[in-house]
């Protein structure tokens, strides 16, 4: 299959190029980066020597349409500008937020501007979504925080109060994109942790809530505080939610929680429930398409505590996009992807 990438100069674009370079059925035929057109790909992605001598191309609707499958790794609000100009049968994975939300009101509140519409949401491990993804040709790839939080919470929606979910999650600096920002300079980030988009205004909030509703958590509401961590990539999320009293009444509630998660993910190769006593680490999932999860019951506060770790450029972006591309192309879901990290 002839594959195109739009927005290939960014961190996510670089990870897409790295992963697709090892994919047996996807051939990189069109690599575009409008603002960097004409530059050598290896000038921005020196980790990709197999692309030495090749340059970024200009963004062209005609060249997009000549592909069999297109990855769009553009800033939010940009992908939707091209969609009406592309042929209807072109398979597209959009890694931006343009088509993730069902609610136009939420789009206006958190992103601004007109809502472009809603595509099939590409989080295959959420019960019921895999078949929808496989039947679609336009996929909205989930956000990185949304993946780490919603996927780790989904198995528990039937035993928690979905209106009382509190999340604190830390992300590496690549999650903010490649454009230069003072607060992302090495001298600003090193040896420091800082919250940002404080007070429930992070744009992934409605996406997480909508995903948990899809998973069965009626009326889901989260209080989400993101943290900028002094590392390039990775997300570590800590989620707590009040357990239902009838579930807590079970004297074996701790084991029941583990069984609940084990059953939900028993056939999922990329969702890993860790053994008791072992906690998720961002270093363990780097370069992989995996999410590591651990659960515990805080009997003192009667809350479920969930910890999860992903690579924000892997399962949180490029890896998941390829997983979705495999599904809509009728290929094995794990093709070109790794379960193991690169310590």
The HSE-up count of residue 23 (CA atoms within 13 Å, CB side) is 27
Residues 244, 266: one domain? yes
Q: Give the whole-number percent of the chain exceeding pLDDT 70.
A: 97
Residues 299, 153: one domain? yes
Q: Report which of 77, 286, 239, 218 is spatially closest to residue 145, judged by C-alpha positions.
A: 239
144 is catalytic: yes
Q: How far apart are CA 338 and CA 21, in angstroms?
A: 13
Which one from 144, 157, 243, 257 is the annotated catalytic residue? 144
Q: Which domain holds residue 250?
A: 146-312
b/e code 189-200 from CB counts within 10 Å (16+ = b): beeeeeeeeeee
What confidence tens digit (pLDDT) does each residue in 62-98 have? 999 999 999 999 999 999 999 999 999 999 999 999 9
Residue 333 domain-assigned (yes or no):
no
Residues 91, 236: one domain? no
Residues 150, 138: one domain? no
Residues 291, 151: one domain? yes
Residue 341 domain-assigned (yes or no):
no
Other beta carbons within 10 angstroms of residue 298's beta carbon come to: 11
Q: How confident is the model at residue 178 (pLDDT cuts 50, 70, 90)?
A: low
Residues 153, 119: one domain? no
Rg (CA), the chain: 20
CA distances from 318 to 144, 208, 249, 254, 328 (A): 10, 19, 42, 35, 15
Is the predicted pLDDT of residue 183 greater than 80, yes or no? Answer: no
Residue 339 domain-assigned (yes or no):
no
CA distances from 246 to 127, 160, 219, 297 (A): 24, 10, 20, 14
Q: How confident is the model at residue 180 (pLDDT cuts 50, 70, 90)?
A: low
CATH of the domain at 245: 3.30.360.10
Residues 99, 152: one domain? no
Decide: residue 257, CB within 10 A, 0-12 exposed, 13-18 middle, 19+ buried: buried
Residues 165, 289: one domain? yes
Residues 17, 132: one domain? yes
Q: Name the domain count of the chain.
A: 2
CATH of the domain at 104: 3.40.50.720
pLDDT of residue 342: 86
Residue 240, token pair as written in the block = 């707590």
What confidence tens digit (pLDDT) does each residue in 204-259 have? 999 999 999 999 999 999 999 999 999 999 999 999 999 999 999 989 999 999 99
Strands 120-121 and 138-140, by their bridges, are parallel
Residue 336 domain-assigned (yes or no):
no
Residues 115, 193: one domain? no
Residue 290 domain-assigned (yes or no):
yes
Residues 65, 153: one domain? no
Residues 284, 188: one domain? yes
Phi, psi at 247, each rounded to 5° = -75, -40
Is the predicted pLDDT of residue 187 greater than 80, yes or no? Answer: no
Is the predicted pLDDT of residue 176 greater than 90, yes or no? Answer: no
């Amino acid at each position: 299959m002839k594959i195109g990438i739009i927005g290939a100069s960014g961190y996510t674009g670089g990870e897409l190029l790295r992963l697709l370079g090892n994919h047996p059925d996807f051939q990189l035929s069109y690599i575009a980066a409008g603002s960097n057109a004409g530059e050598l790909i290896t000038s921005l992605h020196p980790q990709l020597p197999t692309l030495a001598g090749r340059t970024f191309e200009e963004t062209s609707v005609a060249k997009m349409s000549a592909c069999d499958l297109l990855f769009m790794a553009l800033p939010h609000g940009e992908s939707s500008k091209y969609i009406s100009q592309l042929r209807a049968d072109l398979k597209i994975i959009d890694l931006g937020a343009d088509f993730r939300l069902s609610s136009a009101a939420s789009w206006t509140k958190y992103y601004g501007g007109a809502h472009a519409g809603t595509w099939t949401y590409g989080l295959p491990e959420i019960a019921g979504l895999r078949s929808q993804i496989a039947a679609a040709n336009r996929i909205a790839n989930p956000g990185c925080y949304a993946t780490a939080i919603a996927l780790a919470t989904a198995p528990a929606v039937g035993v928690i109060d979905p209106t009382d979910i509190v999340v604190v999650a830390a992300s590496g600096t690549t999650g903010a994109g490649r454009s230069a920002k003072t607060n992302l300079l090495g001298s600003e980030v090193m040896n420091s942790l800082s919250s940002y988009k404080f007070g429930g205004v992070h744009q992934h909030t409605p996406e997480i809530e909508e995903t948990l509703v899809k998973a069965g958590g009626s009326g889901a509401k989260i209080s989400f505080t993101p943290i900028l961590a002094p590392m390039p990539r990775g997300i570590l999320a800590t989620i707590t939610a009040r357990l239902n009293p009838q579930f807590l009444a079970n004297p074996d509630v701790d084991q029941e929680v583990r069984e609940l998660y084990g059953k939900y993910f028993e056939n999922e190769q990329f969702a890993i429930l860790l053994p008791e006593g072992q906690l998720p680490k961002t270093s363990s999932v780097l370069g992989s398409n995996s999410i590591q999860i651990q659960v515990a019951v805080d009997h003192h506060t009667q809350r479920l505590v969930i910890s999860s770790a992903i690579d924000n450029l892997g399962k949180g972006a490029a890896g998941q996009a390829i997983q979705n591309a495999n599904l809509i192309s009728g290929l094995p879901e794990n093709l070109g992807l790794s379960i193991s990290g690169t310590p």
